[in-house]
Amino acid sequence: MEEFGKLEERVVLVGVQTGDNDNVEESLDELEELASTAGAVTVGKIIQNREAVHPGTYIGKGKIEEVRALVYAMDATGIICDDELSPAQLKNLEDILDTKVMDRTMVILDIFAARANTREGKIQVELAQLKYRAIRLVGMRSSLSRLGGGIGTRGPGEKKLETDRRLIHQRIGQLKKELEDVKRHREVTRQQRGKDHALTAAIVGYTNAGKSTLLNRLTGAGILAEDKLFATLDPTTRSFTLGDGQQILLTDTVGFINKLPHHLVEAFKSTLEEARYSDIVLHVVDCSNPQMDMHMHVVKETLRELGITDKTIVTVFNKTDRLEESGLPIPRDFSADYQVRISAKNGDGLKELEEILGNIIRSRRVYLEKTYSYSQAGKLQTIRKYGQLLSEEYTEEGIKVTAYVPAELFAGLYGDGPEEKE
């Protein structure tokens, strides 16, 4: 396993069960995966049943003693709480336990810091880190000086931990300006795509659902695809040519997760704008995961919160090759416009997915049947470039053509004037 840091951390995971609907055991299993991705080894788990989390210490006094004993017995270097801790909770737990205290948000931010490669990704991570840490500096100083590194201390924002809040807020202001520049650049790129009249599809889904594997399989994008949470952070757009010659732009996006830190939702809105401005949303689902329904709900709720609605939704149930092994029922999503079952790993179902994409593209285009004079032959190049040429027949009268073309080009292509310049 690739590790992001040299310091091997041994952690105890702590969660609070507050209601019948909370499945803390499953949430801690996911937290263990997150910790592993960040380079930590889980050596124990503790769950407390409470009506609500303790406002001052997250868990009750008796359970704190149990945590302390387990940390000592397992020679753990710290604990990770399954929820985002307040500054008071963080400081109080550190003082009482005399060990490093982290929360779910800190671990996710740490993974993001390690995964960010592009300028935009690094800016967004640092921005999220600074916002999170600005109000927690006092609580974190003691643990940092005592343990000297590990989860929560690496990444672009680590040098800022020991600065005062005034400097941090100045840095936040500077980063926001840099992010605006990046946004403007992306807007120019998006406008250029619009000129190409190509439909766009954003690939979204719960982390580790197989989004990058699907993009790699369809386009040969060569994106890192690992069986790890948040293997992909920075969005990647590639062109995919269907068997009938039609083209569509596919964009891989960052994976969603339960209890996604609000710092990251805000910071990564610009990244997820690719989904907002897309024509189609490909919702990739790991149908072999027992938590499939919860994962689907998290993705749909996050999309709703980001204002990504009124899109053509294609639910892509991935990893069907594992269904027989899992014994799970055949998945369905009645809220989607289309649904398909595939295995991105071995290629099963991709033809059906391609057909669905082809049908969506055709539904957004206009059927054209026309005979062009030979002096208008240049219009065929426009059709080939932006539409789908179904047939062409060369006759004495001219070139008889049938095709599907973008609606915005129909008037120019159907008219008898000369070819319009691009």
Could you tell me the end-to-end alpha-carbon distance of the chain, in angstroms, rounded to an integer?
51
pTM above 0.75, yes or no: yes
Residue 171 in any domain: the answer is no
Domain annotation covers residue 180 = no
Same domain membership, residue 146 and residue 70: yes
Clarify whether residues 334 and 301 are in a common domain.
yes
Tell me the CATH number at 263: 3.40.50.300
Is the domain of 315 the same as that of 231? Answer: yes
256 & 399 share domain: no
Query: Are 329 and 370 part of one and the same domain?
Result: no
Reading the chain (422 residues) residue by residue, the pLDDT tens digits are 444 445 678 999 999 998 755 688 888 999 999 999 888 999 999 999 998 899 999 999 999 999 999 999 999 999 999 999 998 999 999 999 999 999 998 898 888 888 777 777 788 888 888 888 777 765 444 444 444 456 765 555 444 445 567 788 888 888 888 888 877 877 777 666 666 677 889 999 998 888 888 988 988 766 656 666 665 566 678 888 888 778 888 988 877 888 777 667 666 666 677 777 888 999 999 998 888 998 999 889 888 887 888 889 999 999 998 877 666 777 889 889 999 999 998 899 999 999 999 999 888 889 999 999 998 888 998 888 888 888 999 999 899 999 988 888 888 888 775 544 44
pLDDT in tens, 289-346: 888 998 999 889 888 887 888 889 999 999 998 877 666 777 889 889 999 999 998 8
Tell whether 189 is covered by a domain: no
For residue 158, what are the domain limits?
9-166
pLDDT in tens, 152-178: 655 554 444 455 677 888 888 888 888
318 and 236 inside one domain? yes
Residues 291 and 330 placed together within one structural domain of the fold:
yes
